[in-house]
Protein backbone atom coordinates (compact mmCIF):
# COMPACT_ATOMS: atom_id res chain seq x y z
CA UNK A 1 0.00 0.00 0.00
CA UNK A 2 1.31 3.41 -0.88
CA UNK A 3 0.82 6.63 1.02
CA UNK A 4 -0.07 9.96 -0.47
CA UNK A 5 0.19 13.15 1.52
CA UNK A 6 -2.85 15.32 1.97
CA UNK A 7 -3.02 18.89 3.14
CA UNK A 8 -5.51 20.61 5.36
CA UNK A 9 -5.58 23.88 7.20
CA UNK A 10 -2.89 23.79 9.87
CA UNK A 11 -4.96 26.08 12.02
CA UNK A 12 -7.91 23.69 11.89
CA UNK A 13 -5.72 20.80 12.98
CA UNK A 14 -4.48 22.92 15.88
CA UNK A 15 -8.06 23.75 16.81
CA UNK A 16 -8.94 20.05 16.91
CA UNK A 17 -5.97 19.41 19.16
CA UNK A 18 -6.95 22.32 21.39
CA UNK A 19 -10.44 20.89 21.69
CA UNK A 20 -8.90 17.57 22.73
CA UNK A 21 -6.77 19.33 25.36
CA UNK A 22 -9.83 21.23 26.59
CA UNK A 23 -11.51 17.94 27.48
CA UNK A 24 -8.93 17.47 30.22
CA UNK A 25 -10.05 20.70 31.94
CA UNK A 26 -13.64 20.72 30.85
CA UNK A 27 -15.10 21.06 34.30
CA UNK A 28 -14.43 22.84 37.56
CA UNK A 29 -12.45 19.98 39.11
CA UNK A 30 -8.82 20.48 40.02
CA UNK A 31 -6.18 19.49 37.53
CA UNK A 32 -5.06 15.95 38.34
CA UNK A 33 -1.40 15.92 39.30
CA UNK A 34 1.25 13.58 37.95
CA UNK A 35 2.03 12.63 41.55
CA UNK A 36 -1.59 11.64 42.08
CA UNK A 37 -1.63 9.49 38.97
CA UNK A 38 1.65 7.84 39.92
CA UNK A 39 0.51 7.24 43.50
CA UNK A 40 -3.17 6.44 43.11
CA UNK A 41 -3.55 4.98 39.64
CA UNK A 42 -0.56 2.67 39.75
CA UNK A 43 -2.26 0.01 37.63
CA UNK A 44 -2.60 2.47 34.76
CA UNK A 45 0.99 3.61 34.89
CA UNK A 46 2.14 0.00 35.27
CA UNK A 47 0.24 -0.97 32.14
CA UNK A 48 1.68 1.95 30.19
CA UNK A 49 5.23 1.03 31.29
CA UNK A 50 4.73 -2.63 30.57
CA UNK A 51 3.33 -2.08 27.09
CA UNK A 52 5.73 0.76 26.38
CA UNK A 53 8.67 -1.45 27.35
CA UNK A 54 10.04 1.40 29.43
CA UNK A 55 10.21 1.49 33.22
CA UNK A 56 9.79 5.13 34.19
CA UNK A 57 6.96 5.54 36.72
CA UNK A 58 6.84 9.32 36.75
CA UNK A 59 6.96 9.71 32.98
CA UNK A 60 4.36 6.95 32.67
CA UNK A 61 2.09 9.02 34.92
CA UNK A 62 2.71 12.02 32.71
CA UNK A 63 1.95 9.93 29.63
CA UNK A 64 -1.30 8.68 31.16
CA UNK A 65 -2.28 12.27 31.94
CA UNK A 66 -1.43 13.44 28.44
CA UNK A 67 -3.31 10.51 26.89
CA UNK A 68 -6.33 11.20 29.13
CA UNK A 69 -6.19 7.66 30.50
CA UNK A 70 -5.72 5.84 27.20
CA UNK A 71 -3.06 3.31 28.19
CA UNK A 72 -2.10 2.28 24.67
CA UNK A 73 -1.65 5.91 23.70
CA UNK A 74 0.39 6.39 26.89
CA UNK A 75 2.56 3.38 25.98
CA UNK A 76 3.02 4.89 22.53
CA UNK A 77 4.18 8.18 24.08
CA UNK A 78 6.71 6.30 26.22
CA UNK A 79 8.02 4.39 23.22
CA UNK A 80 8.32 7.59 21.24
CA UNK A 81 10.27 9.15 24.09
CA UNK A 82 12.60 6.17 24.48
CA UNK A 83 13.35 6.24 20.78
CA UNK A 84 15.05 9.61 21.34
CA UNK A 85 17.41 8.25 24.00
CA UNK A 86 20.74 6.53 23.91
CA UNK A 87 21.21 3.24 25.64
CA UNK A 88 23.76 3.35 28.43
CA UNK A 89 24.15 -0.40 28.62
CA UNK A 90 22.45 -3.67 29.40
CA UNK A 91 22.06 -4.57 33.04
CA UNK A 92 23.77 -7.59 34.46
CA UNK A 93 21.40 -10.54 34.22
CA UNK A 94 19.20 -10.89 37.25
CA UNK A 95 17.68 -14.12 38.50
CA UNK A 96 13.95 -13.69 39.19
CA UNK A 97 14.53 -15.66 42.39
CA UNK A 98 16.16 -12.49 43.74
CA UNK A 99 12.82 -10.73 43.71
CA UNK A 100 11.81 -9.04 46.95
CA UNK A 101 8.24 -10.28 46.91
CA UNK A 102 5.34 -8.30 48.34
CA UNK A 103 2.84 -10.87 47.19
CA UNK A 104 3.24 -14.53 46.37
CA UNK A 105 0.59 -17.19 46.02
CA UNK A 106 0.77 -20.72 44.72
CA UNK A 107 -2.42 -22.19 43.26
CA UNK A 108 -0.59 -25.51 42.77
CA UNK A 109 0.70 -26.14 46.28
CA UNK A 110 -1.15 -25.43 49.49
CA UNK A 111 1.94 -25.54 51.66
CA UNK A 112 4.88 -23.76 50.17
CA UNK A 113 8.11 -22.73 51.79
CA UNK A 114 7.88 -19.14 52.91
CA UNK A 115 4.11 -19.43 52.91
CA UNK A 116 1.36 -17.97 50.83
CA UNK A 117 1.57 -14.21 51.05
CA UNK A 118 -1.59 -12.58 49.83
CA UNK A 119 -0.10 -9.09 49.83
CA UNK A 120 -2.26 -6.30 48.45
CA UNK A 121 -5.15 -7.90 46.62
CA UNK A 122 -8.94 -7.95 46.36
CA UNK A 123 -8.94 -11.40 44.78
CA UNK A 124 -10.94 -12.93 47.61
CA UNK A 125 -13.49 -10.21 48.19
CA UNK A 126 -16.62 -9.14 46.38
CA UNK A 127 -16.43 -6.72 43.52
CA UNK A 128 -19.02 -4.17 44.51
CA UNK A 129 -19.00 -0.45 43.93
CA UNK A 130 -17.79 1.40 47.01
CA UNK A 131 -19.85 4.57 47.09
CA UNK A 132 -17.83 5.91 50.03
CA UNK A 133 -14.95 6.48 47.64
CA UNK A 134 -17.01 8.95 45.66
CA UNK A 135 -16.65 11.75 48.17
CA UNK A 136 -15.08 10.24 51.26
CA UNK A 137 -11.77 11.34 52.70
CA UNK A 138 -9.07 8.72 52.32
CA UNK A 139 -8.24 6.70 55.41
CA UNK A 140 -5.44 4.20 55.80
CA UNK A 141 -7.19 0.93 56.73
CA UNK A 142 -3.85 -0.52 57.87
CA UNK A 143 -3.15 2.31 60.31
CA UNK A 144 -4.18 0.22 63.31
CA UNK A 145 -2.24 -2.88 62.31
CA UNK A 146 0.08 -4.22 64.96
CA UNK A 147 2.91 -5.58 62.90
CA UNK A 148 5.40 -8.15 64.05
CA UNK A 149 8.94 -7.36 63.07
CA UNK A 150 9.58 -10.01 60.45
CA UNK A 151 13.18 -8.92 59.92
CA UNK A 152 14.63 -8.55 56.48
CA UNK A 153 12.82 -9.85 53.42
CA UNK A 154 13.34 -13.51 52.71
CA UNK A 155 14.45 -14.79 49.38
CA UNK A 156 11.64 -17.11 48.38
CA UNK A 157 12.72 -20.15 46.43
CA UNK A 158 10.87 -20.57 43.16
CA UNK A 159 8.49 -23.52 43.33
CA UNK A 160 9.36 -24.58 39.81
CA UNK A 161 13.06 -24.65 40.60
CA UNK A 162 12.34 -27.19 43.29
CA UNK A 163 10.14 -29.22 40.97
CA UNK A 164 13.07 -29.31 38.62
CA UNK A 165 15.35 -30.59 41.36
CA UNK A 166 13.10 -33.61 41.68
CA UNK A 167 13.28 -34.22 37.96
CA UNK A 168 9.63 -33.38 37.40
CA UNK A 169 10.43 -30.61 34.99
CA UNK A 170 12.06 -30.87 31.64
CA UNK A 171 15.74 -30.03 32.01
CA UNK A 172 16.65 -27.50 29.34
CA UNK A 173 19.55 -27.89 27.00
CA UNK A 174 22.40 -25.54 27.68
CA UNK A 175 21.60 -22.20 26.08
CA UNK A 176 23.45 -21.69 22.81
CA UNK A 177 24.00 -18.00 23.37
CA UNK A 178 24.53 -15.76 26.36
CA UNK A 179 23.38 -12.55 24.71
CA UNK A 180 19.68 -12.36 24.05
CA UNK A 181 18.36 -10.92 20.84
CA UNK A 182 16.83 -7.51 21.27
CA UNK A 183 13.56 -7.19 19.39
CA UNK A 184 13.59 -3.42 19.79
CA UNK A 185 16.67 -3.34 17.57
CA UNK A 186 16.34 -6.33 15.28
CA UNK A 187 13.20 -7.65 13.69
CA UNK A 188 12.11 -11.13 14.62
CA UNK A 189 12.54 -13.87 12.07
CA UNK A 190 10.36 -16.92 12.41
CA UNK A 191 10.57 -19.29 14.11
CA UNK A 192 11.58 -16.94 16.91
CA UNK A 193 14.09 -17.64 19.66
CA UNK A 194 12.58 -18.09 23.08
CA UNK A 195 14.13 -14.89 24.41
CA UNK A 196 12.47 -12.97 21.58
CA UNK A 197 9.10 -14.48 22.45
CA UNK A 198 9.44 -13.47 26.09
CA UNK A 199 10.54 -9.94 25.26
CA UNK A 200 7.66 -9.40 22.86
CA UNK A 201 5.10 -10.86 25.23
CA UNK A 202 6.49 -8.76 28.09
CA UNK A 203 5.68 -5.62 26.13
CA UNK A 204 2.51 -6.96 24.58
CA UNK A 205 -0.81 -5.21 24.99
CA UNK A 206 -2.58 -6.46 28.09
CA UNK A 207 -5.93 -7.06 26.40
CA UNK A 208 -4.37 -8.90 23.49
CA UNK A 209 -2.20 -11.10 25.71
CA UNK A 210 -5.19 -11.86 27.91
CA UNK A 211 -7.49 -12.61 24.97
CA UNK A 212 -5.05 -14.91 23.19
CA UNK A 213 -4.19 -16.69 26.44
CA UNK A 214 -7.90 -17.04 27.10
CA UNK A 215 -8.43 -18.55 23.65
CA UNK A 216 -6.22 -21.48 24.66
CA UNK A 217 -8.27 -22.02 27.81
CA UNK A 218 -11.50 -21.84 25.83
CA UNK A 219 -10.50 -24.83 23.73
CA UNK A 220 -8.53 -23.20 20.94
CA UNK A 221 -5.39 -24.81 22.24
CA UNK A 222 -4.08 -27.59 24.44
CA UNK A 223 -2.65 -25.65 27.35
CA UNK A 224 -4.63 -25.46 30.55
CA UNK A 225 -1.88 -24.83 33.05
CA UNK A 226 -1.72 -24.97 36.80
CA UNK A 227 0.03 -21.92 38.13
CA UNK A 228 2.97 -22.88 40.28
CA UNK A 229 3.07 -19.38 41.66
CA UNK A 230 2.27 -15.78 41.00
CA UNK A 231 4.47 -13.10 42.49
CA UNK A 232 4.60 -9.37 42.65
CA UNK A 233 7.75 -7.73 43.86
CA UNK A 234 10.84 -5.77 43.06
CA UNK A 235 13.76 -6.85 40.92
CA UNK A 236 17.15 -5.15 41.21
CA UNK A 237 18.49 -3.20 38.24
CA UNK A 238 22.23 -3.71 38.31
CA UNK A 239 25.17 -2.49 36.28
CA UNK A 240 28.89 -2.93 36.61
CA UNK A 241 30.28 0.14 38.29
CA UNK A 242 32.59 1.84 35.79
CA UNK A 243 35.33 2.37 38.39
CA UNK A 244 35.15 -0.63 40.66
CA UNK A 245 33.77 -3.24 38.25
CA UNK A 246 31.49 -4.44 41.06
CA UNK A 247 27.82 -5.11 40.42
CA UNK A 248 25.84 -2.24 41.86
CA UNK A 249 22.11 -1.64 42.13
CA UNK A 250 20.76 1.51 40.52
CA UNK A 251 17.14 0.95 41.43
CA UNK A 252 14.45 -1.73 41.50
CA UNK A 253 11.66 -2.35 39.04
CA UNK A 254 8.29 -3.52 40.27
CA UNK A 255 7.36 -6.62 38.30
CA UNK A 256 4.75 -9.35 38.16
CA UNK A 257 5.86 -12.92 37.59
CA UNK A 258 3.86 -16.02 36.82
CA UNK A 259 5.04 -19.59 36.43
CA UNK A 260 2.91 -22.45 35.26
CA UNK A 261 3.31 -26.18 34.96
CA UNK A 262 1.70 -27.99 32.11
CA UNK A 263 1.39 -31.77 32.28
CA UNK A 264 2.91 -33.44 29.24
CA UNK A 265 2.97 -37.02 30.53
CA UNK A 266 0.73 -38.13 27.71
CA UNK A 267 3.19 -36.92 25.15
CA UNK A 268 6.50 -38.16 26.41
CA UNK A 269 7.96 -41.42 27.59
CA UNK A 270 9.19 -39.74 30.75
CA UNK A 271 6.17 -38.18 32.50
CA UNK A 272 7.10 -34.64 33.34
CA UNK A 273 5.75 -31.14 33.40
CA UNK A 274 6.44 -28.45 30.86
CA UNK A 275 6.80 -24.83 31.83
CA UNK A 276 5.14 -21.59 30.98
CA UNK A 277 6.61 -18.31 32.12
CA UNK A 278 5.51 -14.72 32.32
CA UNK A 279 7.27 -11.62 33.62
CA UNK A 280 6.32 -8.04 33.00
CA UNK A 281 6.86 -4.56 34.40
CA UNK A 282 4.45 -3.33 37.05
CA UNK A 283 1.53 -4.92 38.83
CA UNK A 284 -0.37 -6.74 36.11
CA UNK A 285 -1.21 -10.31 37.08
CA UNK A 286 -3.73 -10.76 34.29
CA UNK A 287 -1.09 -10.05 31.68
CA UNK A 288 1.62 -12.12 33.37
CA UNK A 289 -0.70 -15.14 33.51
CA UNK A 290 -1.81 -14.63 29.91
CA UNK A 291 1.85 -14.44 28.94
CA UNK A 292 2.50 -17.69 30.79
CA UNK A 293 -0.23 -19.49 28.84
CA UNK A 294 1.06 -18.11 25.56
CA UNK A 295 4.64 -19.06 26.37
CA UNK A 296 3.56 -22.62 27.11
CA UNK A 297 1.33 -22.71 24.03
CA UNK A 298 4.01 -21.41 21.69
CA UNK A 299 6.36 -24.14 22.88
CA UNK A 300 3.90 -26.67 21.40
CA UNK A 301 4.63 -25.10 18.00
CA UNK A 302 1.22 -25.93 16.54
CA UNK A 303 -0.27 -24.49 13.37
CA UNK A 304 -3.92 -25.18 14.05
CA UNK A 305 -4.52 -23.06 17.12
CA UNK A 306 -3.84 -19.31 17.19
CA UNK A 307 -2.19 -19.32 20.62
CA UNK A 308 0.27 -22.03 19.57
CA UNK A 309 1.42 -20.21 16.47
CA UNK A 310 4.30 -17.94 17.46
CA UNK A 311 4.08 -15.85 14.31
CA UNK A 312 0.37 -15.23 14.80
CA UNK A 313 0.76 -14.37 18.47
CA UNK A 314 3.75 -12.08 18.09
CA UNK A 315 2.23 -10.33 15.08
CA UNK A 316 -0.90 -9.42 17.00
CA UNK A 317 0.01 -8.77 20.65
CA UNK A 318 1.88 -5.52 20.25
CA UNK A 319 -0.39 -2.64 21.22
CA UNK A 320 1.50 0.04 19.38
CA UNK A 321 1.43 -2.00 16.17
CA UNK A 322 -2.25 -2.86 16.40
CA UNK A 323 -3.26 0.59 17.62
CA UNK A 324 -1.37 2.18 14.75
CA UNK A 325 -2.74 -0.07 12.08
CA UNK A 326 -6.33 -0.05 13.32
CA UNK A 327 -6.48 3.65 13.98
CA UNK A 328 -4.73 4.70 10.79
CA UNK A 329 -7.90 3.63 9.00
CA UNK A 330 -9.44 6.89 10.26
CA UNK A 331 -6.94 8.95 8.32
CA UNK A 332 -7.63 10.14 4.76
CA UNK A 333 -7.50 7.33 2.21
CA UNK A 334 -8.92 9.38 -0.62
CA UNK A 335 -6.40 8.38 -3.26
CA UNK A 336 -6.38 4.66 -2.48
CA UNK A 337 -10.15 4.60 -2.20
CA UNK A 338 -10.53 6.52 -5.45
CA UNK A 339 -8.34 3.92 -7.10
CA UNK A 340 -10.53 1.12 -5.75
CA UNK A 341 -13.65 2.91 -6.91
CA UNK A 342 -12.21 3.37 -10.39
CA UNK A 343 -11.30 -0.29 -10.57
CA UNK A 344 -14.72 -1.50 -9.48
CA UNK A 345 -16.45 0.93 -11.81
CA UNK A 346 -14.31 -0.31 -14.68
CA UNK A 347 -15.15 -3.94 -13.92
CA UNK A 348 -18.84 -3.15 -13.69
CA UNK A 349 -18.61 -1.20 -16.93
CA UNK A 350 -16.93 -4.15 -18.62
CA UNK A 351 -19.59 -6.57 -17.39
CA UNK A 352 -22.38 -4.22 -18.35
CA UNK A 353 -23.54 -3.97 -14.75
CA UNK A 354 -23.19 -0.26 -14.37
CA UNK A 355 -25.93 0.64 -16.87
CA UNK A 356 -28.33 -1.91 -15.37
CA UNK A 357 -27.60 -0.67 -11.84
CA UNK A 358 -28.13 2.94 -12.84
CA UNK A 359 -31.55 2.11 -14.25
CA UNK A 360 -32.51 0.28 -11.06
CA UNK A 361 -31.29 3.01 -8.71
CA UNK A 362 -33.00 5.68 -10.74
CA UNK A 363 -36.26 4.02 -9.83
CA UNK A 364 -35.53 4.07 -6.10
CA UNK A 365 -35.83 6.92 -3.62
CA UNK A 366 -32.67 9.03 -3.29
CA UNK A 367 -31.48 7.60 0.08
CA UNK A 368 -31.64 4.03 -1.26
CA UNK A 369 -29.48 5.09 -4.19
CA UNK A 370 -26.78 6.18 -1.72
CA UNK A 371 -27.00 2.85 0.09
CA UNK A 372 -26.67 1.03 -3.23
CA UNK A 373 -23.49 2.85 -4.01
CA UNK A 374 -22.16 1.99 -0.58
CA UNK A 375 -22.73 -1.69 -1.23
CA UNK A 376 -20.32 -1.50 -4.15
CA UNK A 377 -17.55 -0.60 -1.71
The beta-carbon contacts of 217-222 under 8 Å, at least 24 apart in sequence, are 217/293, 220/305, 220/306, 220/307, 221/297, 221/300, 221/302, 221/305, 221/306, 221/307, 221/308, 222/297, 222/300, 222/302, 222/305, 222/308
Give the number of C-alpha atoms closer than 13 A to the C-alpha of residue 251, restricted to the C-beta side.
Answer: 6
Q: Which of 32, 66, 180, 286 binds another protein (CB under 8 A)?
A: 180
Q: How many residues in the chain?
A: 377
Separation CA 262–CA 270 (nearest Å): 14
Interface size with another protein, residues (CB under 8 A): 103
Give the footprint of another protein on residues 295-334 (CB under 8 A). Answer: 295
Based on the shown chain and the rule CB under 8 A, indicate whether residue 191 belongs to the binding site for another protein.
no
Query: Which residues, 6+ apart, have CB-to-CB distance to 323 below 8 Å?
Result: 72, 73, 76, 205
Q: Which of 32, 56, 344, 369 binds another protein (CB under 8 A)?
A: 56
- How near is the Cβ of 195 to another protein at its closest, in Å? 4
- How near is the Cβ of 34 to another protein at its closest, in Å? 12
Q: Which of 217, 239, 344, 353 binds another protein (CB under 8 A)?
A: 239
- How near is the Cβ of 142 to another protein at its closest, in Å? 7
Based on the shown chain and the rule CB under 8 A, indicate whether residue 208 belongs to the binding site for another protein.
no
Between 170 and 333, CB nearer to another protein: 170
Determine the 3-state secondary structure of 316 from DSSP: helix
Q: Which of 166, 269, 304, 377 binds another protein (CB under 8 A)?
A: 166
Q: Is 86 exposed, middle or buried (0-12, 13-18, 19+ CB in 10 A)?
A: exposed
Give the number of C-alpha atoms closer than 13 A to the C-alpha of residue 175, restricted to the C-beta side.
Answer: 8
Based on the shown chain and the rule CB under 8 A, indicate whether residue 218 belongs to the binding site for another protein.
no
Based on the shown chain and the rule CB under 8 A, indicate whether residue 162 belongs to the binding site for another protein.
yes
Between 158 and 215, CB nearer to another protein: 158
- How near is the Cβ of 227 to another protein at its closest, in Å? 14
Based on the shown chain and the rule CB under 8 A, indicate whether residue 198 belongs to the binding site for another protein.
yes
DSSP tag of 93: P
**Helix 42-52 crosses helix 71-82 at what angle (to 10 degrees)?**
50
Between 172 and 365, CB nearer to another protein: 172
Based on the shown chain and the rule CB under 8 A, indicate whether residue 142 belongs to the binding site for another protein.
yes
Between 164 and 348, CB nearer to another protein: 164
Between 82 and 333, CB nearer to another protein: 82
Determine the 3-state secondary structure of 357 from DSSP: helix
- How near is the Cβ of 79 to another protein at its closest, in Å? 10
- How near is the Cβ of 301 to another protein at its closest, in Å? 15
Query: 137-152 burial, b if ≥16 CB within 10 A, otherwise e?
Result: eeeeeeeeeeeeeeee
The C-alpha torsion from 281 through 285 and 289 to 295, rounded to 10°, is 0
- How near is the Cβ of 141 to another protein at its closest, in Å? 12
Separation CA 367–CA 1 (nearest Å): 32
Based on the shown chain and the rule CB under 8 A, indicate whether residue 256 belongs to the binding site for another protein.
no
Between 190 and 343, CB nearer to another protein: 190
Give the footprint of another protein on residues 10-49 (CB under 8 A). Answer: 49
Give the footprint of another protein on residues 74-113 (CB under 8 A). Answer: 82, 85-98, 100-103, 108-113
- How near is the Cβ of 200 to another protein at its closest, in Å? 10
Euclidean distance between the first and final Cα of the chain, in Å? 18
Based on the shown chain and the rule CB under 8 A, indicate whether residue 248 belongs to the binding site for another protein.
yes
Amino acid sequence: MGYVAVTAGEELIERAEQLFEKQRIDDDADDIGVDQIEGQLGRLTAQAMSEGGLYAPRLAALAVKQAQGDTVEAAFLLRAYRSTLERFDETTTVDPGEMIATRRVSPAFKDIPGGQILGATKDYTQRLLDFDLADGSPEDPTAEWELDDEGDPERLTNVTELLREEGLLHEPDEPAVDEPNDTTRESITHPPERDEVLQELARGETGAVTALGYSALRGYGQVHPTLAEVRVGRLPVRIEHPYTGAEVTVTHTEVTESEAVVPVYEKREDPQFAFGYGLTFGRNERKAIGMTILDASIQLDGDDEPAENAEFVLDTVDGTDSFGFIEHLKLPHYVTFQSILDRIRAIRERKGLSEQSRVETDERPADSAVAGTSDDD
